[in-house]
Amino acid sequence: MTPLHVTPKPAHRIDAARVEAAYAAARAAYVARNPGSAAALDRARQVLPGGNTRSSLWSEPFPLCIESGAGCRIRDVDGHEYVDLLGEFTAGIFGHSSPVLARAVADAHARGINLSSHTPYEVALAERLCARFPSMDRVRFANSGTEANLMAVTAARRITGRDRIVVFNGGYHGGFLTFAGGGSPVNVPFDYACLPYNDIAAAEAEFTARGAEIACILVEPMLGAGGCIPGDPAFLQALRRLASAHGAYLIFDEVQTARMSLGGAQARLGIIPDMTTVGKFFGGGLAFGAFGGRAEIMDHFNPARPGALPHAGTFNNNSLTMAAGVAAIDTYLTADALEALYARGEALRATLTALFAARALPFRVTGMGAIMNIHPDSGLGRAGDQKLLALLHLTMQERGYYFAARGLMALSFAVGEAELAGFTAALEQGIGV
């Protein structure tokens, strides 16, 4: 996509009353347009708390109920079709209903599922992952990115004999390792130092004060749920230096950023951690997580070794997931395809930045490659910004474009230039404030 070349205009003043009125109208139109989704939520409330089993999907006045998808499009229970710009929160990089992945799962199923022992599938997937990531000599499988991060952190604590973990405000490493606003009431009760992201001085001060107690640094090369804020290369390199100097492990959570190149963000940045966690799309659309690292770290999980660290899980080597992961890597997650997707995302972000400036729309966009987040910039404070973002979300859904209520977008391979041109044209219409 060719970025717009414009002279930025000064942002017009945003009137809170106009935002409120536009939001109220957009909300009312949404409710009237989606009775099927409202009814689906009412039914779900009878058996699920609030009708929900995944907090990140909730949005006011109620979320859409999606019944099907194909390529880069999804359809809700009321029959509306949307261009899916969310890509299952980065996991849906393949688009919907891939025949290649469906065939891989069916073939594995025909060979027998839950095979009660080691299988060739897990070795094939492990070989591919270790070949991709500079930091992975050995790898272990899990069922989610959450599990992978928990195991990586636990390994670091046990091997180093230290308890403290350095994390960063806004970081998200799974449902039990969430640091938006500094932490979550359901976090695993470890000893955390939650520091400002991209703040080298804060990290240096923490290690100066308590370096001998720190087992590991757990960091995303780009904050994902924290707003798609890329890590400053100098900051990430400083973390590498501090970890090495103090005998701590540097763990890169690449559950999202693994798509940034064949070897993830670490290969693109040239910064090699001690351990890496991945998940999402490496399971070919099925539940998946993995953690890997240097041989001397990962060999603590060798069950033939005295005092080995235990790591169980019935579905860790589920043959369906392993087969889907191999097919996904061999068919879709190639160096050329990932590079093209990265470039398409970079171009879209530049286009959106220029469009917001040219139309004096009160938004900005941050991100890396094909993962990005639109942020409100109303000057009305937090409440006003939230209302403005909700207005944008509802407006763009009415125009046929779907992304997260918090402004997150993650392009899939299936999203093409025509869909992106349509999206920017829809944005150019503005939001009525």
Domains of the chain and CATH, by start: 16-96+335-428 (3.90.1150.10), 99-331 (3.40.640.10)
Supply the pTM of this predicted model.
Answer: 0.96
Which residues does the annotation mark as catalytic? Answer: 172, 253, 280
Per-residue pLDDT at 7: 37
Residue 398 to residue 224: CA distance in whole angstroms: 26
Q: How many CA atoms lie within 13 A of 20 on its CB side?
A: 6
Is 142:291 a contact under the CB 8 Å cutoff?
yes
Could you read off the pLDDT of 226-245 as tens digits, one per residue? 999 999 999 999 999 999 99
Q: What are phi and psi of 402, to 5 degrees?
A: -115, 125
Residue 13's pLDDT is 65
User: What residues in the chain have per-residue pLDDT under 50?
Assistant: 2-11
Rounded to whole angstroms, the Cα distance separating 171 from 236 reads 14
pLDDT score at 229: 98
pLDDT value of position 432: 85
Name the nearest CA neighbour of 193 among 180, 185, 203.
Answer: 203
For 14, the token pair is 């945003």
Contact 289, 148 (CB under 8 A): yes
